[in-house]
A and B are shown apart, each in its own frame.
Chain A
Amino acid sequence: DQQVKQNSPSLSVQEGRISILNCDYTNSMFDYFLWYKKYPAEGPTFLISISSIKDKNEDGRFTVFLNKSAKHLSLHIVPSQPGDSAVYFCAASGRNAGNNRKLIWGLGTSLAVNP
């Protein structure tokens, strides 16, 4: 049962345009959401995060939007660059009984930015 879903396995965008990566979640206990970028054979690189008390967080070319009522978040990359080509993972966490914050991950979206 996938609690974090990234329904688009791949996305292709022209350089300079906007990339929009989507993520849906089912567990209402999640209160923190993160986006990671991953190249093959490397560990995930943290990009940006958002707390459930916010609806938007921006860092340079990256903006994450959170719609709690729809249990949906999205990552916008503007403008997209060829170096952004990678697999993007959405992850979520919530405080649980063990007081730990394990990350629950989506399956990833492979972004290709074409020159």
Chain B
Amino acid sequence: DAGVTQSPTHLIKTRGQHVTLRCSPISGHKSVSWYQQVLGQGPQFIFQYYEKEERGRGNFPDRFSARQFPNYSSELNVNALLLGDSALYLCASSFSREQFFGPGTRLTVL
């Protein structure tokens, strides 16, 4: 069975650019959450989507946006990239209370 998949695995951008990260949940999971993890910290919650609706938003600026598609896959968009946006971006899917994570996308902003 395929787990949570994310693309791309690595990405290098420059300040001011925008980026789109993609996530496909485990088959049957309708909820997708996005987290940002910087080195030495635990993951920080960005968004949660369920059945294509936003169910939660963390303390991130409006430059961060997301959406969920009818097939439950999801995209995370970040505009006007800053150096501080460099991090591992994790996507998690869930059916109940356990969340299962993908391998993450490593974003480097130069």
Contacts and interface: CB of A to CB of B under 8 A. Distances in A.
A100 B98 contact: no
Interface string B42-70: 11110010100001101000000000000
Nearest to B94: A101
B90 A44 contact: yes
Measured as residues with beta carbon below 8 angstroms from the partner, the interface class of chain A is: 20 to 34
Given A46-B99, A98-B56, A103-B35, 12 more contacts: A32-B97, A34-B99, A36-B101, A43-B6, A43-B90, A44-B101, A96-B56, A98-B55, A102-B45, A103-B43, A103-B92, A106-B42
A89 interface: yes
Interface of B is mostly: strand
A41 interface: yes
Interface of A: 4, 32, 34, 36, 41-46, 49, 89, 91, 93, 96, 98-108
B97 A93 contact: yes
